[in-house]
Structure 1
């Protein structure tokens, strides 16, 4: 397909509620690696990780289980393992597994589980050209984390977003017409997309004003809804109440500031909407089991495995 010339192309999404929401998805790499091939004695039996994991098989064979649900990895297949599911695997040493792994977080509006909202499948066999693009993205992530040049996290996260977008696009392409978003069925573009798009003013207010005191009536006014009705539709679309979502957003913002800045805990408490650093510390201990300062020193940058 040729590149359109002689006109400016707008970045504003033209694909409906789904594309509008996808513009607010952020990806961050936790860890990545490549095994070409894995060792002959390789096997896997680990508790579920707190993040998603892409497995991209470029050769060999392996049996892979997620919470006892079996999958088979062969050349050209991809698995997106959800968080907190036990992962088991074994391969044939005579046909050793070749694969890339990318551990990631993907959030919509900073808090929502983007792959779950999009109803992405666990296993997929992309078209060869799409698979090649996904492998190229995974390879770029591994190279960036291994070299750790200035800006590597930004480049790796960009490649991670491309990897997720290709997986999403291919999952749509492989849906039967009756289940595609255009057909209005229950395809990867989840029915909740419409409600989430309707709640966009609430999400934007939380993003822009989370450091300020916010009440339910303030959030409801942003969406021109009655507070009780907002609570109902928000819980149906998101799974938690508006104020619970606000609390999660503030906590995630505090985590981000702890890892990306040298600001004091008191300043972070103020910027994240907690006000009192002692209150932030109490919330942090309940969520993480450690103080904000200990969390800051316990976390590392994304790394190559």
Structure 2
């Protein structure tokens, strides 16, 4: 995976919104069977015991204990028990949106992982289920946090697998824009320039970018500039005006305003807090 692809995936995950609709842990019932349906939600199945049958798209699977399956929203699928012991599994139904897009349409991920005896997936599912049982007003936040951990584990371990992780082909024009921004953020980038990079009309480009990433193009450019400014503040002794020139915001007053809006600290306070020379 090249650097541009990594940055694109990080952008997707940074703007991810999740919602869990159902979850559980149990042995499936004798009527656990549905054929050729297309759900409007994603599913995770972590197989703990037993046997059964799944079909995702045009591929069939006989999941084994320890395997963790992803069944994406909008993909035709089937499932059924078989003649042997029925599955016992952790499971959840959830949405995972980046802008208006399902995360798993934006990333090419394997449809299952082998946990290989790692007990962490089961622990993460138990954490999710314990949040559902919570009665505090913060329970919805805890459920979302637990779901984020599950997705993070799946994506991270998928990336380390032989199949790997990469942005979907449909992302290629926008991937080119992200790469262009990362090479040219120190200049006065315009919407027309970025739209031309994606071969789209400027007005349409703005809509596509925001629908795809959940943020506007110029907001993303400024986010990149602030990230670079943070790095320069903590790794160099450059003056703020010098940093502004390097990150494409030569107006020191505007840089300070944008920096504080993003981090809650002025550039000076950020440096005093994070620069290693200022450590106690």
TM-score (normalizing by structure 1): 0.55
Secondary structure, in 3 states, of the residue corresponding to 1:159? helix
1:242 maps to which residue? 206
Ranges in structure 2 where 5+ consecutive residues have no aligned partner: 183-187, 215-280
Between the aligned partners of 2:177 and 2:195, the Cα distance in structure 1 is: 17
Matched with 1:89 is 79
Distance 1:149 1:93 in 2: 42
Corresponding residue for residue 100 of structure 2: 111
1:68 to partner: Cα distance:
4.1
1:189 corresponds in structure 2 to 166
For 2:79 and 2:13, locate their aligned partners in 1 and report how far apart those are by CA, in whole Å. 35
Give the counterpart of 1:164 among 151, 155, 159: 151
CA distance in 2, matches of 1:28, 1:16: 21
Q: List aligned pairs for 1:209-288, cutoff 5 A.
A: 225-226=192-193, 228-232=195-199, 241-246=205-210
Q: Does the 8 Å contact 2:195/2:205 carry over to 1?
A: no
Distance 1:139 1:77 in 2: 16
- The partner residue of 2:121 within 105, 120, 134 is 134
Deviation at 1:46, TM superposition (A): 6.2
| Matched pairs, number | 201
Residue 34 (structure 1) shift? 2.2
The root-mean-square deviation of aligned C-alpha atoms, in Å, is 3.5
Compared CA separation, residues 38 and 225, structure 1 to 2 (3 A): same
2:224 corresponds in structure 1 to none
* C-alpha distance 223-151 of structure 1, shift in aligned 2 (>3 A): farther
CA distance in structure 1 between the aligned counterparts of 2:114 and 2:57, rounded to whole angstroms: 21
Partner residue, 1:124:
113
TM-score by length of 2: 0.59
CA deviations on 1:90-145 (whole Å, 9 max, x unpaired) are 1235412011221222233x33432332311112223322xx22222222222322
1:4 counterpart residue number: none
Match of 1:57 in 2: 47
Change (3 A) 1:170 1:244: closer
List gaps (5 residues or longer) in structure 1: 1-14, 177-186, 202-220, 251-305
Aligned to 1:44: 34
Distance in 1 separating the partners of 2:20 and 2:136: 17
CA radius of gyration, larger in:
2
Deviation at 1:245, TM superposition (A): 5.0
Deviations 1:190-223 (A, max 9, x none): 384853634779xxxxxxxxxxxxxxxxxxx755
CA distance in 2, matches of 1:223, 1:79: 43
User: Do the aligned partners of residues 37 and 23 (structure 1) sit closer, same or farther apart at CA in structure 2, a change above 3 Å counting?
Assistant: closer
Say whether the 8 Å CA contact 2:41–2:95 is kept in structure 1.
Answer: yes
Q: Measure the CA separation in 2 of the matches of 1:137 and 1:234.
A: 44
Distance 1:246 1:23, change over 3 A: closer
Q: Secondary structure at the match of 2:53?
A: strand
